Amino acid sequence: MKMVKSLLLGTAAGLVAVAGAQAADMPVKAAPVQYVKICSLYGDGFYYIPGTDTCLKMGGYLRVQAEYYMGAGGIAIGSGTTESPQARFARDVTNDVNYRTRAAISWDVRQQTEYGTLRTYIRTGIQITTPVDTEGGAVFWDRAFMQFAGFTVGKTQSFFDLFTYGGGMSYHNVRTAGDTGAAGLTVWAYTAQFGNGVTGTVSLESPNGHNRAGVVDVNAANFFTINAAVTNDNAFSSNVGGNGFRMPDIIANLRVDQAWGFLGISGAVHDASGSYYGGVNPAASLCNTGTAAAAGNCVTNGHPADKLGWAVAVGGQLNLPGGDQVGANFAYAEGATGYVTNVGTGMGIYNANTSVGFGWLSDGVFGVGSEVELTRAWSVNAGYQHIWNARWRTSVFGGYVNIDYNANATALICATRAANMTPVFAAVQPVGFNCTPDFSYWEVGTRTQFNPVPQLDIGLEVLYSKLNTAFKGPAIVQPNGPRPAVTAVDDQGVWSAMFRWQRNFYP
């Protein structure tokens, strides 16, 4: 028995030895290789581009929304960028419901250098917005900038902007603020870091990105006309697309960013000079010929002295316990109304067939022999967002903008009103007509958003907008297309709503 036991143990030992030798001869499985490495220098979502020290994060979103009494991507009816009054009773000039589908993709590329981080950011996409676009859609791009050694150059948000409830707390296009976040603009800026979250920025920016209202000659053919774009008479070449200017807007900004939120103050200087006297823009070959067609806007007519407009703003946001947020912003401008409001050059709303309300915006007005009278404007906006839980949040918000033409500007406008505003107004106004171009506009609303899963937003916004009209009082407003004549200019209000689904990727 002892002999058998020894034989079995010896055989087992031999088998183990042979197996070990065979295992040693087999190829060893290679450890997994991480071909795309995570880059943790700049936060979540960044990866090293293979073979480089450059980090990339791709992001974007898909947005689908339905709008009631809104258009052009959330602009409340009657508050568009040009004077386009809405007759809600006329079937061929209004759209009660509009759709927008937008797909955007972004690239955020960063790398470390001896001067700090070099960053390049691009965001572009395609959208279909009814009724303007065909189903083929339209390309858009709102960001394309570089940041290096404190400099920011390219298309981004204005450094004048501080707080807005647009985007973070609401869906619609805010008209009571001059915020440029939706479309961006070209900047050449330098930001200094002072420590403890305090920064200061000086920026040279495209004046057209601030929804420039322009300088208006009261002798122009389209001087404050209804249902038509206002003809600006600025001292620069607009050419095709209206992007010409003599000088960039000069922006200065000082702000502090901390865990509790941020607080900032901004200032801007803006060219508000007028072109030549006369009002119209004849062909160059007609100037100085003595013909009637050359009566306006020629060098020999002279021009008003150059004027600079300006604007200031103060705003901030507080981050409250539980994730709630509250913010406010105040802005004031003279001759730079685009920093206060995004209304554009005019707005108008018909109330069935009984009355109409409207208002026109400008940086300044002038007439033959006069100087440019700068338009004053101010706005205030505030918003609050409450986080109910991880899936539900509700915000409330509101804003107000006031447009004020001084006494000289009002006199210029009213003196030429009858001739240049026909057929909007009859040549002879009823007794009691109030000739004042001043107007105001306000909006209040609420949005509730549901996030059933992370990065998916489903929300509903309800908005009320009110136009406190210019020229309020009895008037004879002539028929315009399908719209009948009305006998009163009065304040107008509109209820709007928007329902949105949005899938977000890394921003």
Q: Quickly tell me which residue has 């200017």 as its tokens.
A: 245
Task: Report the residue count for the chain.
Answer: 507
Residue 284 lies in a domain: no
pLDDT band at residue 114 under the 50/70/90 scheme: very high
Q: Is the dihedral of CA 225, 229, 235, 240 positive or negative?
A: negative
Residues whose CB falls within 8 Å of the CB of residue 256, separated by 6 or more in sequence, listed in order:
196, 197, 198, 199, 262, 263, 264
Give the Cα separation of 134 and 130 in Å (integer).
Answer: 8
Residue 280 lies in a domain: no
* pLDDT (average), residues 435-451: 94
What's the total number of domains in the chain?
A: 1
Residue 258 lies in a domain: yes
For residue 430, which phi and psi values (nearest 5 degrees)? -60, 155
Residue 288 lies in a domain: no
Q: Cα–Cα distances in Å, from 280 out to 219, 232, 297, 365?
A: 7, 10, 6, 14
Q: Which residue has the higher pLDDT, 130 or 453?
A: 453
pLDDT in tens, 332-360: 999 999 999 988 777 777 776 678 888 88
pLDDT band at residue 87 under the 50/70/90 scheme: very low
pLDDT in tens, 224-280: 766 566 777 777 655 445 567 889 999 999 999 999 999 999 999 999 998 888 765
* Domain span at 340: 58-272+307-504
Residue 3 lies in a domain: no
DSSP assignment of 237-251, as one string? --TTTT---SSPEEE
pLDDT band at residue 203 under the 50/70/90 scheme: very high
pLDDT band at residue 202 under the 50/70/90 scheme: very high
Residue 246: the pLDDT is 85
Give the Cα separation of 344 and 357 in Å (integer).
Answer: 16
Give the Cα separation of 367 and 416 in Å (integer).
Answer: 9
Q: Of 108, 92, 196, 99, which Cα lies nearest the Cα of 145?
A: 108
Q: How many CB atoms lie within 10 A of CB 137?
A: 15
Q: For residue 166, give the CATH number of its domain.
A: 2.40.160.10
| 506, 59 contact by CB (below 8 A) | yes
Residue 440 lies in a domain: yes
pLDDT in tens, 294-345: 556 677 778 899 999 999 999 999 999 999 999 999 999 999 999 999 887 7
* pLDDT (average), residues 17-29: 49
* pLDDT (average), residues 15-28: 47
* pLDDT (average), residues 285-289: 62
Residue 302 lies in a domain: no
pLDDT in tens, 161-177: 999 999 899 999 999 99
Q: Is the dihedral of CA 213, 215, 218, 222 positive or negative?
A: negative
Mean pLDDT over each residue of the chain, to the nearest integer: 83
Percentage of the residues of the chain whose pLDDT score is greater than 90: 55
Residue 43 lies in a domain: no
